[in-house]
Structure 1
Amino acid sequence: MSRSRRIRHSLLAVLAIPLVAIPIATPALAVAAVGATKTYAAESGPGYGYGYGGSIESYGGGAYGGGIVDPYRQGLDSSTATVDSEPATEAESAGVVLINTTVGYGTGQGAGTGLTITGDGIVVTNHHVVEGATSITVADPSTGETYAATVLGYDDVHDVAVLQLEDASGLSTVATDRDAATQGEEVTAVGNAEGQGSLSAADGTVTDPSTAITVNNEDGTAAELSDLIQTDADVVSGDSGGALLDEDGEVIGMNVAATSGSAEISGYAIPIDTVLDIAAQILAGEESGDVEIGGSAAALGVQVDTTRSTLVVGVVEDGAAEAAGITEGSTITSVDGTAVASIDDITSVLGDHEPGDEISVSWTDAAGQAHTATVTLGEGPVA
């Protein structure tokens, strides 16, 4: 299954993001999730996101930030890594789709990969591919059709999410093999490498059928992904959620991570048996353990200055706050009858609600006039 052509991929990195300094170079031999390559536009005010139900750090996949590598903000170090891949064949592409996200209500974009498991548009991918998304589209490269998608549920501990494509039918699906991977078996990693908008395939072998990796959270804690398939296939940024195929062309794993900053790349995949079990629980609506049903948190639709209490520095167009008349320069004083003095207070209250809930909000405008209104909460970014 060797391929003779070697392709060098360029480094994809974030140009700017509020309150976070992003180095360009990747640390040697670091393990990174390889999900959606993401870029961000600069924002004028700090604290963007808390009023939507999550912090800006979650847009970057918080479990993969800190001292390891944030996959959304950094790619392979192109000075050392030469990637061995070529365009995926029709057979390798069957059921594999391209995922594109809008992040932060238009402040950023992302690109990753997914696996279609039912003809009516159920797709599995990594949670970190869609985390923080305010809209998701999925393209089927075999037909050229593009679908809006919603998150039905996710397991952020095992890094799996399930999407439903709107108005989808008759889609090609992936063929899967639930048997455990074996040492030395030949594999091919297929995905939207570097977010290029088409599928690439990289060949390799299984170097460890069951291993664990540790990544650092931005809050200083650590998270572990265990029971992963390790390969020497050249898995890169954008491949997350893609297929790890065996020599029969069946999916045995879903790409999730890779080493970076080294000439030799190790890729990691979640066994497809684990992915399908989590998907079945989500589709059954069983919220338990690490599984959450639904994707988006309730959103008030304000941008709050994290350094100045609950001062509103931005309002989302057509959001709940705008409908209530909340404007920039206002200070939110209570949410759902609970006095709030910080963004943590607002987030805590919103965490007890779902999109569509009606709650009361009180605020003082820039002129010092007090107001109270009932608002219908919207949908925030994917949690």
Structure 2
Amino acid sequence: MASSSYSRPDAHGAPRKPRKPRALRAALLGAVATIALTGAAMTEFVPTSPAMADTAAPSVGPATFADVVDRVRGAVVSVKVKVTETADADEDGGMPQFAPGDPLEKFFKRFGENGPRGGAPHGKPHTGQAQGSGFIITEDGYVVTNNHVVENATDVTVTMDDGKTVLPASVIGTDKKTDLALLKIKTGGPYQHVKFSTVVPRVGDWVFAVGNPFGLGGTVTAGIVSARGRDIGAGPYDDFLQIDAPVNRGNSGGPTFNAQGDVVGVNTAIFSPSGGSVGIGFAIPSESAQTVVASLKDKGSVARGWIGVQIQPVTTEVADSLGLKAAKGALVADAQANSPAAEAGLKSGDVILGIDGERIDGPRELARKVAALGPGKKADLIYWHNGSEKTVPIKLGSLPDEKASPAKAAVSEDSSFKGLGLSLAPASSMQGAGGEGVVVADIDPDGAAAQKGVRVGDVIVEAGGKSVSRPADVSAVLAEAKKEGRKAVLLRVKGSEGTRFVAIALTPAS
């Protein structure tokens, strides 16, 4: 039982004796009894009058979830699949990508309950098993789950809440970018089903999860919404709910309900150093899930809007170097040729501030808004260009398939460039680095550039908005920026992950 804090300060902050000791004692005992019934910690008990001392403190949460659980649990199913995979298949299911050895690498986990993997030599396909959770959303048997639960599935079944009824299902459509999938039970009906919530949950709201952890089936856990809008690096449209209701391996694809029994999230990932729950789970919010699910049901796929830019956050240093008053918006690292953005006149170094009449705070918000608008939609794009704000009409395209990232440039002889903790050389002197820019041939891991994510093999193509081809060009830009009193210089860098901007703080040693 969680401990409770009780105090009765007077107007000067000093303890005072109760006017009705017996009544107060009764009220305190009542408060302790309430804790035992609700399983929740009480807030500070501070009666301000004898009348309040005679009144039992109210519960801070529902006394029980039993009634609402009885109403919804029949719609929650266990999803079991047979999958065909290879020994070198991506077992992370699109989870955050960290540098080798990063202490966070092992903590983020998808939590479908997978059977034994590996053992197939040279990438030959083999059959495995996986299981997770799902929930029925229509009377005729449409089921929502996670993409990573059914990815590469050759056979899918759902087990109902009674643990005995096993029904075949088919995959209607999947969406890897949001890790959602829609199934359809092939036989029978009507089925008990639940609906998505139309009310956005607040941080602190009570929620409960129902699912199939470790293959146990029909397990209910409760907690609160711990945070909203979490970005865990799982995809371009991350906007997770964080919940502390315990969820574990096998809960993947199962629902998180509010106290009214409506689905507020689809459980997807956990943060865990051990593989089990530590009270940090992530769920796709219902407002995102129902849009994707509707598209999967209608078309079997999701069509998203696209403007064709590589974008990154606007840091304080970037804002200062571009003359922006606030570190908001999405910095254009590259505008792809023949894309809607390029045709509208956007160039690298511009900052997108808003679209379709709404301002944005950062790249994630822009990505979600553009995707939601859909292909063919016309909108006004607000952006920052050469020190002033501009507005241009743009017609969104359709998001193309992902392309492989270019390989890193080879490292060869270098020229010393101490100011940024780098050794630089003309890109034209390095095989595979291209003919433009200055290649990073070596880097000080404790230097300013390394701390901003610059790596060996990256190519600096612009510094301070000017094209560079020699290390001396970069040095000249730094000297000019310092003379003008700027706090940072903006480098445009091409690497294995595409083109991006890096703001390097200027120091006397630069």
Give the TM-score, by structure 2 length.
Answer: 0.38
Q: Which fold has the larger relative contact order, with Cα–Cα distance below 8 Å and residues 6 or more apart in sequence?
A: 1
Displacement of 1:144 in angstroms is 3.1
- Give distance in 1, aligned partners of 2:89 and 2:150: 20
Displacement of 1:162 in angstroms is 0.5
* Higher-strand-fraction structure: 1
> Does the CA contact (< 8 Å) of 1:33 and 1:257 recur in 2?
yes
Displacement of 1:47 in angstroms is 1.9
The answer for unaligned runs of 5 or more in structure 1 is 5-15, 50-103, 216-222, 292-383
> Does the CA contact (< 8 Å) of 1:37 and 1:195 recur in 2?
no
Matched, 1:228 2:247: no
Q: Secondary structure at the match of 1:39?
A: coil
Which position in structure 2 is the counterpart of 1:110? 130
Which position in structure 1 is the counterpart of 2:269? 257
Which position in structure 2 is the counterpart of 1:170? 190
Which position in structure 1 is the counterpart of 2:87? 18
Q: Secondary structure at the match of 1:144?
A: coil
Matched, 1:282 2:271: no
- Give distance in 2, aligned partners of 1:18 and 1:109: 14
Q: Secondary structure at the match of 2:188?
A: coil
Q: Secondary structure at the match of 2:221?
A: strand
Which position in structure 2 is the counterpart of 1:272? 286
Residues 286 and 153 (structure 1), Cα distance of their counterparts in 2 relative to 1, 3 Å cut: closer
The letter of the residue matching 2:123 is G
Residues 239 and 288 (structure 1), Cα distance of their counterparts in 2 relative to 1, 3 Å cut: closer
The root-mean-square deviation of aligned C-alpha atoms, in Å, is 3.2
CA deviation profile, 1:216-247 (whole Å, cap 9, x unmatched): xxxxxxx4551111011211111011010112
> Does the CA contact (< 8 Å) of 1:157 and 1:290 recur in 2?
no
Residues 202 and 135 (structure 1), Cα distance of their counterparts in 2 relative to 1, 3 Å cut: same
Displacement of 1:3 in angstroms is 8.4
Residues 254 and 146 (structure 1), Cα distance of their counterparts in 2 relative to 1, 3 Å cut: same
- Give distance in 2, aligned partners of 1:256 and 1:158: 10
Q: Secondary structure at the match of 2:239?
A: strand
Displacement of 1:18 in angstroms is 3.3
- Number of matched residues? 214
What does 1:88-237 correspond to in 2, within 5 Å? 104=126, 107-142=127-162, 144-196=164-216, 198-215=217-234, 223-224=235-236, 226-237=238-249
- Give distance in 1, aligned partners of 2:163 and 2:119: 35
> Does the CA contact (< 8 Å) of 2:202 and 2:225 recur in 1?
yes
Residues 142 and 207 (structure 1), Cα distance of their counterparts in 2 relative to 1, 3 Å cut: same
What does 1:252-331 correspond to in 2, within 5 Å? 252-261=264-273, 264-285=278-299, 287-289=301-303
Displacement of 1:141 in angstroms is 1.6
- Give distance in 2, aligned partners of 1:259 and 1:244: 17
* Higher-helix-fraction structure: 2
Matched, 1:242 2:254: yes
Which position in structure 1 is the counterpart of 2:122? 46
CA deviation profile, 1:259-303 (whole Å, cap 9, x unmatched): 111673301111122222111112212645369xxxxxxxxxxxx
Q: Secondary structure at the match of 2:199?
A: coil
Displacement of 1:38 in angstroms is 3.1
- Give distance in 2, aligned partners of 1:268 and 1:155: 17
Moved over 4 A (4+): 19-22, 26-29
> Does the CA contact (< 8 Å) of 1:180 and 1:209 recur in 2?
no
Q: Secondary structure at the match of 2:233?
A: strand
The letter of the residue matching 1:243 is P
> Does the CA contact (< 8 Å) of 2:172 and 2:300 recur in 1?
no
- Give distance in 2, aligned partners of 1:38 and 1:290: 34
